[in-house]
Amino acid sequence: MSSRDRILGRVRRALADVPPDDTPYEQAVSRDYLRQHGDRGAEETVDLLAENLVDYRAVVHRSDTAGLPALIAHLLGERGSKTVLVPPGLDESWLADTEVTRVTDRPDSTPHELDRVDSVVTGCAVAIAETGTIVLDGSPDQGRRRITLIPDHHVCVIRIPDQVVSSVPQALDRLVPARPLTLISGPSATSDIELDRVEGVHGPRTLEVVLVSGE
C-alpha cells in the first residue's frame, strides 16, 4: 500500500459518519459579488491597467504592431542587454530589429545559466486592470515559469484591448486552472519590518510592459 492510499484511506474513515452534502458545488458558495467595479469602456480599462502597473513600479510603454520591433530593440539596447531569452512560440517579428544574441529556452537550462541572461521577452495570457496584474500561463509565447523569474529584466508584451480585462473574476474565466499560472504585479520586491523596499528578490528587478494596439 502506498502513502497515497494510506492518506486517502484515513480521509475516507474520517468522513464515514459525515452526511452527504446534497448542495452542488456551484451553489454552495454565494457568488453574487460584482464582476467589476464601475462601468468602463475598453480604452478606460487599458488606461486603468497602465496606471496601476506604474503604481507597482513597472515601466509602461505604448506602441502599435508596426512599431513594436523597434521599441523592443530600443529597450534591450537601453538596458545594455547582450543576451535575450526567447520563448519557443514568441512572434519572430517582435525581435526583427534587434541584434542581441538570442538564448533558446531549453528544458535542461540550469538556474545559473538563466541568471546569466540579461533580458527575457514574453507575451502574456491576460492582464487585470483593477489590480495591475499580468498573468502568464506557460503558453508558447511565454515559456516556462522560471524563465520570467530568474533573469533580471523582463519585457512583457500585452495586446490591447483583447488581452485586458477589468477584474480578477473576468480573468479567471479566461484561464485554465491546470496550467502553470504566474501572477505578476510589478517587479519582484519585498520589504523588511522597517518597510525598506528591496527589489529583485524572487523575480526580475525591472519589469517593462509594452501595450500594443492593432492586429
pLDDT digits (tens, 9 = 90+) for 153-195: 999 999 999 999 999 999 999 999 999 999 998 877 676 666 6
The residues facing 210 across adjacent strands are: 61, 157
Q: Which residue has the higher pLDDT, 37 or 96?
A: 96
The CATH number for 112's domain is 3.40.50.10420
User: Number of structural domains, the chain?
Assistant: 1
Taking only the tens place, the pLDDT of each residue in 133-156 is: 999 999 999 999 999 999 999 999
Pairing, β 133-136 against β 182-184 = antiparallel
Does some domain include residue 19? no
Mean pLDDT of 90-94: 95
Does some domain include residue 46? yes
Mean pLDDT of 32-46: 88
Does some domain include residue 161? yes
**Residue 64 structural domain:** 40-213
Does some domain include residue 156? yes
Q: The sheet that has 182-184: what strands, in order across it?
A: 164-165, 126-128, 133-136, 182-184
Q: Using an 8 Å Cβ cutoff, are 158 and 166 in contact? A: no
Confidence (pLDDT) at 1: 80
Confidence (pLDDT) at 192: 65
C-alpha to C-alpha distances, 195 to 34, 145, 189, 198, nearest whole angstrom: 33, 28, 11, 9
